[in-house]
Amino acid sequence: MAQGMRFGLVCSRFNEFITSSLLQGAKDALFRLGVTEQDILEVMVPGALEIPQAVRALAQTGYCDAIVALGAVIRGDTAHFDVVVNQSASGLSAVESEYSVIVANAILTTDTIEQAIDRSGAKAGNKGYEAAMVAVEMVDLFRKIRAYGKLD
């Protein structure tokens, strides 16, 4: 289904024990759907606040059909939790609308480390995997919509 699609994966190192699982989950999903390693551009950034900057830079290249953002913001870790959460989410939306590129958001925002563990492959699935699946579905959908347009 996803052969020939190209993806950017932007992953933050902050809380790396969580984000590395999200990144692996995203890659597992893409490989499962037929994406090859050569069609995945992997970029690491320090923290969730830097994710939108790297997503923007990738979008500017025009290389990717979709970009998956992977990070973990845990309330217990930071007094500026709300700043990191809000700025990373609004930064992603801004890039998405400015460049018309699909951006799937797998930046976890949790109150506790346990919740983050659950969402990165334990009890509550792997949000990286899920976001990559969503990205593929949206690329496929947009291709179909564009194809309808050509029929008019």
Chain residues that interact with ligand INI, rule: CB under 6 A: 12, 14-15, 46-50, 71-74, 77-78, 84
Nearer to ligand INI, 15 or 120 (CB): 15
The residue number with the shortest CB distance to ligand INI is: 47
Nearer to ligand INI, 5 or 71 (CB): 71
Nearer to ligand INI, 98 or 111 (CB): 111
- Least distance between ligand INI and beta carbon 14 (Å): 3
Q: How many CB atoms lie within 10 A of CB 60?
A: 12
- Least distance between ligand INI and beta carbon 146 (Å): 34
- Least distance between ligand INI and beta carbon 69 (Å): 11
Instruction: Please confirm, yes or no, whether 80 is among the known catalytic residues.
Output: yes
**Per annotation, catalytic residue among 46, 53, 80, 143:** 80
Q: How far apart are CA 98 and CA 118, in angstroms?
A: 33
- Least distance between ligand INI and beta carbon 42 (Å): 17
Nearer to ligand INI, 12 or 120 (CB): 12
Task: Answer for the pair 14, 107: CB distance below 8 angstroms, yes or no.
Answer: no
Q: How many CB atoms lie within 10 A of CB 89?
A: 18
Residues belonging to the active site: 80
